[in-house]
Amino acid sequence: MIQNKEKIRSLFPYLQSAGCGGRQLIYFDNAATTQKPRSVIDAATRWLADSNANVHRAVYGLAAAATEHYEAGREAVRELINAQAREEIVITSGTTASINLLANVYGQRYIRPGDEILLSEGEHHSNIVPWQMLCERTGAHLRYFSVKEDGQWDMEEAERILSEGKVRMVSAAHISNVLGIVNPVAELTVLAHRYGAVIHIDGAQGIVHAGIDVQEIPCDFYSFSGHKLYALTGTGVLYGRRDLLETLPPWMGGGEMVDTVTYSSTTYAPIPLRFEAGTPNFIAAATLRPAVDFVTSIDIAQVRKNEEEMTAWLMHEMNSIDGLRIYGAGGHKAPLVSFTVEGAHHSDIAVLLDKMGVAVRSGQMCSEPLLNKFGQTGVVRVSLAAYNTMQECEVFISSLRRVLEMLR
């Protein structure tokens, strides 16, 4: 068990490097993507060199090795989320692909005109637009339950809408990429099931900062991206409950997803390959194994405790700045804080912070409806990972104060 922060940092080449263009930035945009541990980088490099062959197809040894690595990535995810079977883990290119896949296949099989799909107001565009497209295709309706002023879900409203009995699918973020609150997904899962709906949880942020045990929280679907969890980009996961996944048709047609093909018709492969048409990003997907190994090798309780301390300190310091408003101040907070400052534009703040050596995100955060609700065109967001330190938080706060002196 790795407990020491310095030890964790030593595993990340980025933190040892001179940085981009000779400038070492404090990296506070981890909700967008994380830096990669050496184990992930080395594994990908090694596999590219010594076991690059297309997976699930050929009989020669090289292909068997590549397939083994790819399937080890799937097994790593199964262990991480405690799914019952490897068949429940569909490998995709990322959360966006997972949700689009789900909306298409679930929609085709189960959604009819007049049905409802229920989302929270705090969703990323990736968990809004695929459902809007589904509604346009099928004549179903999209409903939203409110995010309260402090960023927490209005569970009573969610239940009220569910109790009307028309909702077939609930889809909501485990942790919003803007508000950073760990949402009560266990409770929402119970509610969805009580009223006959299935539930998908967007775990893009949740898998990193809360974790999920799909047997403990029996959601029907859970999706996330590998690259926010220290694996390479172009990797993602759609977990689906086996009995439900088995009833779903394929979406993309092509190689690998078939059983028998004639010129006139095709029978499809069993899950999960039914949903993995074409050559997958197999080397990147294989890095899910070393990425998960990293995540499980660190003392997660210690890391979370440390993240909570940093988050509390950041929020305390930020609250002392005149005109600064934090979005999502209520509830159990992940190390992800979005804010605006009166009299200073979010993009100006981010540009100047970059010049001072701190990388933060600014803009709409792919969550335009939520920002509109709060009357903003953009926010600044800081998001931490296991390797960030209190000292970096201190540099960020003193830089932010300097930036605001320049702008106001």
Please report whether residue 362 would count as binding other proteins according to CB under 8 A: yes
Which DSSP category does 19 fall into?
Answer: -
Contact indicator for 126, 228 with CB cutoff of 8 Å: no
Helix (H) or strand (E) holding 171: strand 167-173
Q: List % helix, strand, coil for the chain (3-state, nearest 5).
A: 45, 20, 40
Contact indicator for 173, 202 with CB cutoff of 8 Å: yes
The smaller minimum CB distance to other proteins, of residues 249 and 323, is found at 323
Residues 364-393 that bind other proteins (CB under 8 A): 364, 377-378
C-alpha span between 196 and 191 (Å, rounded): 9
Helix 346-355 / helix 390-407 crossing angle, nearest 10 deg: 120
Q: How far is the CB of 348 from other proteins (least distance, A)?
A: 5
| Given the residues 20, 135, 219, 366, the one annotated as active site | 366
Contact indicator for 103, 129 with CB cutoff of 8 Å: no
Q: How far is the CB of 364 from other proteins (least distance, A)?
A: 5
Contact indicator for 76, 289 with CB cutoff of 8 Å: yes
Q: How far is the CB of 408 from other proteins (least distance, A)?
A: 10
Please report whether residue 293 would count as binding other proteins according to CB under 8 A: no
CB atoms within 10 A of CB 391: 10
Place of tokens 């903003």: 376
Q: Which stretch binds other proteins (CB under 8 A): 50-58, 155-163, 197-205, 358-366?
A: 358-366
Of the CA atoms within 13 Å of residue 120, those in its CB half-sphere come to 30
Q: How far is the CB of 131 from other proteins (least distance, A)?
A: 22
CA 59 to chain centre: 35
Query: Any catalytic annotation for residue 366?
Result: yes
The smaller minimum CB distance to other proteins, of residues 157 and 348, is found at 348
The smaller minimum CB distance to other proteins, of residues 62 and 407, is found at 407
Please report whether residue 130 would count as binding other proteins according to CB under 8 A: no
Please report whether residue 58 would count as binding other proteins according to CB under 8 A: no
- Single out the residue of 351, 372, 391, 401 in contact with other proteins (rule: CB under 8 A): 351
- Single out the residue of 19, 211, 331, 363 in contact with other proteins (rule: CB under 8 A): 363
- Single out the residue of 252, 261, 301, 407 in contact with other proteins (rule: CB under 8 A): 407
Beta bridge partners of 147: 153
C-alpha span between 353 and 25 (Å, rounded): 10
Bridge-based pairing of strands 167-173 and 116-120 is parallel
Beta bridge partners of 49: none
- Single out the residue of 319, 347, 391, 398 in contact with other proteins (rule: CB under 8 A): 347
Size of residue set near other proteins by CB under 8 A: 15
- Single out the residue of 355, 372, 390, 398 in contact with other proteins (rule: CB under 8 A): 355
The smaller minimum CB distance to other proteins, of residues 104 and 340, is found at 340
Interface contacts to other proteins, rule CB under 8 A: 345-348, 350-352, 355, 362-364, 377-378, 406-407
What residues are annotated to the active site? 366
